[in-house]
Amino acid sequence: MTGISDSPPVRTALRPSMGVQVFLVAGFLASAGVPLYIHLPRFAADLGMGLGAIGGMLAVLRLVDFVQDPVLGWAADRFPRARRAMAAAGFAGMGLGYALVFAGQPGPWGLALGLVLIFTAFSLGTILFYGQGVALVGDAGAGAHYRLGGLREAGALTGIVLAALSPSLLALWIGTLPGYAAYGLGLAGLALAVWMLSRPLWSLPPPPPEPRPSLRPLMRAGGGYLLLIALLNAVPVAITSTLFLFFVEDRLQLPGLAGLYLVAFFAAAGLAAPVWSRLAARFGARRVLLPAMGLAVVCFIWAALLPAGAGWQFALICLGSGLALGADMAILPALFAATLARAGLPTGLAFGAWSFAGKASLAIAAAVALPLLERAGYDPGGANDAQALAALNMAYALLPCALKLPAMLLVARLKDTKIGEADV
């Protein structure tokens, strides 16, 4: 067996009710991505952990993903009729993990256990969710995948905004650690609510089981190239997300504006995502992605040059970089899904690899940036000298700029073909 399904997908259309379910699921799953990395370093520091320990923990947890994500993807392909039960387990795992980490506020070992539960359940949910997206669209073409991608990423960005803002707003109301506790319990309740509302989404006719799924057909179809682009392109965003609160509070000395900046950044990305999708469907991915990535580089460089107190300038940077992020989040997953559908490939193992690439970028950011900052003498919220703040400036702004360039070179080699033709 090559891992290619014998029964090609059927051309389908996305019903409005399914669109709402896609939006809700995408929003909830997004809470375990960027928002978690925005708040986790600060939260763990408030619990008494050092930046180096936090970065090391996240790096070790990614080793677990390296083993489990392909296994979860294989299981999704091998047992397609169990996908609804697997989805229920994913929602339950995320809810319990959030309650343990943020409401329980345990020591290092309990924190690691809760994060393993969140990340494992998030992997399972993401793999199944993207696979169901392929089933929803069928062989309706890359344009349909772009439209679904725009809806999915708009939902994800809405979830990111709410999850990123909630702890800060709750902290203003009831205090920092009690606010995190309320945040964890709220997400646990939301996991149950979203599962109940999205049950029809997980009842779509499953594809035939794949006894021996393989990534080789995916690589031959061009999926490996897209995975590499996704990984390299996500690392800069992961670094800026991990260090965002530190940069705003200590480098710019504008702690009261952090929430508004997050709203501006993610709102710009959410509004731009469907626009980028339509542009990519009309003009091709390369012609749209390259200008968006260039805009991100300009924003990184500008951020590095800002003086302390540059409030409105950083607001413009948040808007510009948010617009660029909208293109990344809408186009690359749609390209990947279209590649799978065009080649008739099983989705579970492929999106297991996609999920791992996304989480690996966040882990790389935490494992590299946080220990380096600690070594440079940076103390979150402390009395930092010029050298420590310079290290923070370089890690937040200049390092992502340098890392974005290799991804741009790979995108430049994409073929700008018309809808329905090969994308890579």
For 262-276, the pLDDT digits (tens) are 888 888 887 888 888
The residue count of the chain comes to 424
Question: What DSSP line would sit under 77-98, residue for residue?
Answer: HH-GGGHHHHHHHHHHHHHHHH
Q: Which of 1-10, 102-111, 338-347 has the highest mean pLDDT?
A: 102-111
Gap between the Cα atoms of 336 and 19, Å rounded: 20
Helix (H) or strand (E) holding 44: helix 34-46
Residue 302 binned pLDDT confidence (cut-offs 50, 70, 90): very high
The whole model's pTM is what?
0.70
pLDDT, average across residues 224-235 = 84
Gap between the Cα atoms of 244 and 39, Å rounded: 9
Residue 145 binned pLDDT confidence (cut-offs 50, 70, 90): low
**CB contact burial 321-358 (16+ within 10 A = b; e otherwise):** bbbbbbbbbbbbbbbbbbbbbbbbbbbbbbbbbbbbbb
Q: What would the pLDDT profile of 148-177 be if each residue is shown by its tens digit?
A: 766 777 788 788 888 888 887 888 889 888
For residue 174, give Cα distances in angstroms to 45, 105, 168, 183, 380.
19, 16, 10, 11, 22
pLDDT at 314: 96
- Nearest 10 degrees: CA dihedral of 267, 268, 274, 278? 180
Does the pLDDT value for residue 236 go beyond 70? yes
Could you tell me which residue, 35 or 399, shows the higher pLDDT?
Answer: 399
For residue 412, give Cα distances in angstroms to 225, 286, 406, 423.
12, 6, 10, 12
Residue 6 binned pLDDT confidence (cut-offs 50, 70, 90): very low
pLDDT at 286: 84
Least confidently predicted of 20-24, 183-187, 379-383, 417-421: 417-421
Q: What would the pLDDT profile of 79-109 be if each residue is shown by its tens digit?
A: 877 888 999 999 999 999 999 999 999 888 8
Question: Residue 106 has which token pair?
Answer: 């345990």
Gap between the Cα atoms of 190 and 314, Å rounded: 32
Q: Is CATH 3.30.40.10 the right assignment for the domain spanning 16-203+213-412?
A: no
The one-letter code for the residue type at 226 is L
